[in-house]
A and B are shown apart, each in its own frame.
Chain A
Amino acid sequence: MKNLFAFFYGIRILSLKRRKGEKTRPKMLISIVSIALSLIPVIVIIVVTDGMIEGITSRIIEFSSGHLQSGVDFETEADLLSKEKDILSGIPEVTSAYLEREGLGLLFHNNNRSVISVRAVPRDLYEIDPGFARYVKCSEGTFSLEKRNQVVIGEALAAEFSIKVGDTIRVYTFRGGFVPGMSASLPRVTRLSVSGIYSVGYRELDKNVLFVSYQDGSLMLPFKNSTTTYKIKVRDPFMDLNALSLEIEQLIEAKGAFLRTTPWTYINRNHYSAYQTTKWLLVFITIIIVLVATFNIMSSMIMVVLDRMHEIGILKGIGAKPGSIMLSFVIVGFCTGLCGTVLGVGAGLFVAVNINAVISGIEIIANAVMTAINWISSIFSGSFQSQQIQILNPEYYLEKIPIRIEVWEVSIVCVFTLLVSMLFSYFPARMAAKIRPLEVIRKH
């Protein structure tokens, strides 16, 4: 094997055994450690943001938008809707499809009021849509819309209005006409009995939505003052839904009508692209840290080359080719990058998988410190103020961060780190390859 010497020599340079009076090996160790440390935040960010994006996106598409939506323009097209149901049931990818009406209302309770979104859904939604049932859990009561004027409300909304299961709430909606001689719209007041309080695990979705049956909702929300859609769920919401929506539109068109069918990626594109942009921005910033850490390889290796200049000169004197010397040092750079990558990715994955425990631990420590500081300051001020630190405010984030490891993304980070390690080792390697044996021998 022609390059055996390069491997033999490169591995020996990398050996962590310290030579007498020499400081270069710990320097390579420092490079390994700095690469590993810089990779931890990259991996954590990738895994956690992927988990967060998937967690929030899944909740939004299962709870709110559905996987696909067919817009329904006119109430008179009831016949067409039944046709669409037939069409959708014939598509194997479709798991469920149901009619939903959504409109605004005003919730009155305990002298409080708030604008809320009223969603009129099938009475058996919890049974026909497993995706919805997976994310929407009732903390009190059940998701029951069987009886007339039953309502299920979000946990955050219930907490804000002090609503409990069994309470009666009033919801004002618009009738659709106007008061004669005035520009004000005619209101409709509906008394609803709370049968359940749900939580999606994402506060944003729990604080302003209430569910009623489609029959009740049809009375509360006139067609013209609300949005009526067909919500369609498929086996894999992350498949190419554009092709499927086109297929549905064509099938409906064949029946003599046209209904625009839109995938969730389009409906939620602002949310989704904002999450993705934030994620890649964070990855980009942390990649800069990796670049700086990897740059350390170059300075460490220049030290190694200077330290071993004499040795390299001798090796070239006894016939080592410049290419072999260069390869030896590139191998050192590669192995340094590899060790750092293995350690960093391992540690990063460990932290990412245990991120909920890590955050809880940090919160416990931070709160203990804050309590101690407040207690000490209370000795002088006479008043004790208790402040609880929350790293991730559940108002805006998921209550528990899901973990999603995308192997391809982690692989790209690994490959990138290794390539950059080799690139940065190229310059000292070239420097080593250019050492002239005679100069070294003369200097000695």
Chain B
Amino acid sequence: MNNGNALNAEKTKKPLVGITDLRKLYSMGQDTIEVLSGITLEVAESEMVLVTGESGSGKSTFLNMIGGLDTPTSGSVMVAERDIAKLPESRLTEYRSKSVGFIFQFHYLLKDFTALENVMMPLLISGDSVKETRERARALLADIGLGQRQDHYPSQLSGGERQRVAVARALIHDPSLILADEPTGNLDEKNSKLVLELLFDLVRKYNRTMIMVTHDLSIRKNADRSFLLVHGRLAPE
């Protein structure tokens, strides 16, 4: 099934993500559950795409496949002209460390590391120098208003601050694609607004591509395009 032109990237921009007939089946004993039923979608560079849907509709599974955390049953996920579904584990690791910035529903910061060290982590994993990494992380934390909190541990930060640090961690290594999985799902309204504003501002400022899944319909206005995931298929909203 084709969901029409709405599923294609803007013709003037080069597509960064190209998903074709993506399917995901899970076996539950004798039963097989089809979570994704042949999704096709193109996302252009610098585009912000929103995917909404009910809990359990397969939003996170969809995002995990684009991020190389999960493998599809069939179909292809092309990111920057590489088929993620066919990459070996070693190349997937490299893809995650260089091309993707993840923001999860829960902040997933490392408890033993300060805010600064958490933000530095993706660059350290890539093998960048400590000095340069520290400078970049400091600048980014200052940019998001957490310059004074850089030496605090996650346990010493509020929920909103932790999620802002997680946003900084997702952006520090200049990924071409940002994947946000319900980034405000654990926050109160005030903090949700703050984090979303920050996220959209930063993505625009650094001209990044973002795919966000959420069940918060109120943020549709911030996205270039938005889709509803229902019965394993994407429908434009």
Residues of A within 8 A of B (CB): 1-5, 8, 12, 15, 19-20, 311, 314-322, 324, 437-438, 441, 444
Contacts and interface: CB of A to CB of B under 8 A. Distances in A.
Nearest to B126: A319
B110 A314 contact: yes
A2 B169 contact: no
A317 B108 CA distance: 10
B69 A319 contact: no
Contacts of B155: 20
Contacts of A314: 108, 110
A311 B169 contact: no
B127 interface: yes
Which of A1, A15, A441 counts the most chain B CB atoms within 10 A?
A441
B110 A315 contact: yes
B113 interface: yes
A329 to B, nearest CB: 15
Which of B70, B94, B155 counts the most chain A CB atoms within 10 A?
B70
A441 B63 CA distance: 13
Interface in B68-92: 69-70, 89-90
Contacts of B130: 4, 8
Contacts of B100: 319
A435 B223 CA distance: 35
Interface in B97-129: 97-98, 100, 102, 104, 106, 108, 110-113, 121-122, 124-127, 129
A429 to B, nearest CB: 17
9 contacts: A12-B113, A19-B112, A311-B111, A316-B93, A318-B97, A318-B125, A318-B169, A319-B97, A444-B108
Contacts of A438: 64, 69-70
B96 interface: yes
B74 to A, nearest CB: 18
Contacts of A4: 124, 127, 130
Contacts of A437: 69
A20 to B, nearest CB: 7
B125 A319 contact: yes
Interface string B40-70: 0000000000000000000000001000011
A12 B122 CA distance: 16
B121 A444 contact: no
Nearest to B110: A311
B68 to A, nearest CB: 10
Contact of A441 (B97, B104, B111, B121): B104
Query: For chain B, which range describes its interface: under 10, 10 to 19, 20 to 34, or 35 or more residues?
Result: 20 to 34
A437 B122 CA distance: 15
Contacts of A1: 127, 129
Contacts of B122: 318-319
A19 B155 CA distance: 11
Interface of B: 64, 69-70, 89-90, 93-94, 96-98, 100, 102, 104, 106, 108, 110-113, 121-122, 124-127, 129-130, 155, 169
A438 B24 CA distance: 15
A320 B93 contact: yes
Contacts of A3: 127
A441 B108 CA distance: 9
A438 B67 CA distance: 11
A5 B124 contact: yes
B111 A317 contact: no
Given A5-B127, A317-B102, 4 more contacts: A318-B121, A321-B97, A324-B125, A441-B104
A322 B70 contact: no
Nearest to A17: B112
Nearest to B121: A318
A15 B112 contact: yes
Contacts of B94: 319, 321
Contact of A315 (B64, B90, B121, B129): B121
A315 B113 CA distance: 12
A119 B64 CA distance: 92
A3 to B, nearest CB: 8
A13 to B, nearest CB: 8
A12 B124 CA distance: 14
A393 to B, nearest CB: 56
A12 B112 CA distance: 8
B114 to A, nearest CB: 11
B90 A321 contact: yes
Contacts of B64: 438, 441
A15 B106 CA distance: 26
A320 B127 CA distance: 10
Nearest to B97: A319
B43 to A, nearest CB: 21
A8 B126 CA distance: 13
Which of B69, B125, B169 counts the most chain A CB atoms within 10 A?
B125
Given A5-B125, A317-B102, A322 B89 contact: yes
- Shortest beta-carbon contacts, A-B, top 10: A319-B97, A319-B96, A2-B127, A5-B124, A438-B69, A314-B108, A5-B125, A321-B93, A319-B125, A320-B125
A2 B126 CA distance: 7
A433 to B, nearest CB: 11
A12 B102 CA distance: 23
A322 B69 CA distance: 14
A331 to B, nearest CB: 14
B154 to A, nearest CB: 11
Nearest to A316: B93
A438 B127 CA distance: 23
Contacts of A316: 93
Nearest to B64: A438
A322 B113 contact: no
Which of B96, B112, B127, B129 counts the most chain A CB atoms within 10 A?
B112
Contacts of A444: 106, 108
A441 B96 contact: no
